[in-house]
Structure 1
Amino acid sequence: MGFLGEILLTAGALMLLYLVWQLWYNDMVERGQQDREAASLTEKWDAEESAQPGTPNDGVVPVIAAPGDGEIFATLRIPRFGPDYGAPLAGGVSKAKTLDKAGIGHYPDTQLPGQAGNFAVAGHRNTHGAPLNLVADLRVGDAIVIETREGWFTYRYRNSEYVQPTAVDVLNPVPREDSVAATQSVITLTSCNPKMSTAERIIAYGLFESFTPRADGAPTSLTPTEG
């Protein structure tokens, strides 16, 4: 009995260490890696802009090409999540190709940044860098910025709701409305709720505010959030 007890205690300790590694240390490492990858993309796009300058802001929102499955085409930047926060954004929402590898995934049947309709994305709240770990902390008016080679698409957070996993109408061109033509451009962030559970989904919405070409430099919406 004593030997069996020691085995059980050892197994419990190993399980605890694994949970600490998986849910804390590994997340911290991957979160830092995603931040660095986002920063690297900014440097790459800035260098390309310097080598071949684009057109300053003329008020026209560019049309972004639809990304392939798992193809990184943008980064998600949310100042509320920290001054260095950045998450690579790729096409598709499969765990294997996108969510577990890149960070944030774009629902392929939804619109693209700046287009009328719903630019909907998904990300983890825990494990694999947990890029949407703080999604419940967003406040009305917070900037949600999509950075691409062309420039920055700024959205402003509006509200959140909690839904069942079957509530796929949050991905409609007008979220939660069927057969309604979109007149606004919105962003929808989707993740699991509560943390470490898939029982529900937390859905955060934002309204498109502006596009800033890379030739104009980074927008003021990327200013670190205080308070």
Structure 2
Amino acid sequence: MRVPVTSRRSLRRRALAARVLWNGAELLVTLGVVLMLLVVHQLWWTNRQAREGAEREVQALEREWGEGEGSSPSVTGDGDPPEAGGDSSGASGAGGSSRAGRRSGSPTNPVPARQPRWDQAYAILTIPRLGLRVPVAEGISEPNVLNKGYAGHYPDTAQPGQAGNFALAGHRNTHGEPFRYINRLREGDRIEVETRTAGYTYVVDRTLPQTAPRDGGVIREIPRSLVHPRYGYSDPGYYLTLTTCTPEYTSKYRLVVWGKLASMRPR
């Protein structure tokens, strides 16, 4: 009877194959852990950091405004706001101009005395239906504004309460995701904007569920989609625009919500 004999070469090949398989399994497990940590960082940690930072900034603005109460705000211009409840008829896309917004303001319609500094938080956005209360900062820089969980003000659009279009962008997912649920807003919902000099109430009027990122018409002085022209307005007014990415977890399209100024109250 012959006894099977295994050569040393065969044993070495088997050992090498086992080591390769083991190392490959370790590598796959390591990659899986790294990917899981990245997902946790993006979907949980960035949200936590941004929300905490945004909340601190809201509190800081409120303290700053409280300390400055009693001073007379400086205003400029010649525009008047619509009456409370009146009809002034009618994210991220390319910026449009808002000449009327820049020149509006009166003692009954306070506006910032000077243009906010770049990346500076200078207003507070509140949406009661969504339980949202976040700072508004000048500009739409991701690292300096949006990734902090703020709403970013599109440059060259109107400021709060001014004639024209006060246009904002915000993340829908990660980094605080302040605009995650703006698709739930319905006609008649209130949106509050507070500044050092006044508070403004806008009322949701229309929603554009999906448009191209390049659709800059949605943030023009008189907002109207260039991609879907049946969405938008044809007359000057006092508008608010909210923009964000859609569908969720992508940046393929933009979701747009429009509102109109209903009332204002001096601080």
Q: With the length of structure 1 as denominator, give the TM-score of the two structures.
A: 0.83
* Shift in Å, 1:148: 0.5
* Shift in Å, 1:177: 6.8
C-alpha distance in structure 2 between counterparts of 1:127 and 1:113, whole Å: 26
* Shift in Å, 1:32: 2.9
Determine the structure 2 residue equivalent to 1:194.
247
Determine the structure 2 residue equivalent to 1:75.
124
Determine the structure 1 residue equivalent to 2:142.
95
Unpaired segments of 5 or more residues in structure 1?
A: 215-227
Unpaired segments of 5 or more residues in structure 2?
A: 1-20, 74-105, 227-232
CA contact (8 A) 2:205 2:258 kept: yes
Determine the structure 2 residue equivalent to 1:27.
47
C-alpha distance in structure 1 between counterparts of 2:130 and 2:250, whole Å: 21
The alignment partner of 1:90 has SS state of strand
Determine the structure 1 residue equivalent to 2:219.
171
Determine the structure 2 residue equivalent to 1:9.
29
Determine the structure 2 residue equivalent to 1:110.
157
C-alpha distance in structure 2 between counterparts of 1:12 and 1:150, whole Å: 52
C-alpha distance in structure 1 between counterparts of 2:225 and 2:180, whole Å: 27
* Shift in Å, 1:107: 1.0
The alignment partner of 2:23 has SS state of helix
CA contact (8 A) 2:217 2:224 kept: yes
C-alpha distance in structure 1 between counterparts of 2:206 and 2:239, whole Å: 11
* Shift in Å, 1:205: 0.6
The alignment partner of 2:27 has SS state of helix
Runs of 4+ in 1 over 3 A off after TM superposition: none
Residue identity matched to 2:116: P
* Shift in Å, 1:166: 1.3
Determine the structure 1 residue equivalent to 2:169.
122
CA contact (8 A) 1:157 1:205 kept: yes
The alignment partner of 2:201 has SS state of strand
Worse-matched range after superposition: 32-41 or 166-175 = 32-41
Determine the structure 2 residue equivalent to 1:150.
197
CA contact (8 A) 1:70 1:102 kept: no
Determine the structure 2 residue equivalent to 1:42.
62
Q: With the length of structure 2 as denominator, give the TM-score of the two structures.
A: 0.71
CA contact (8 A) 1:90 1:102 kept: no
CA contact (8 A) 2:125 2:135 kept: yes
C-alpha distance in structure 1 between counterparts of 2:183 and 2:22, whole Å: 47
The alignment partner of 1:100 has SS state of helix
Seq. identity, %? 37
Alignment CA distance shift 1:81-1:129 (3 Å): same
Determine the structure 1 residue equivalent to 2:115.
66
Determine the structure 1 residue equivalent to 2:76.
none
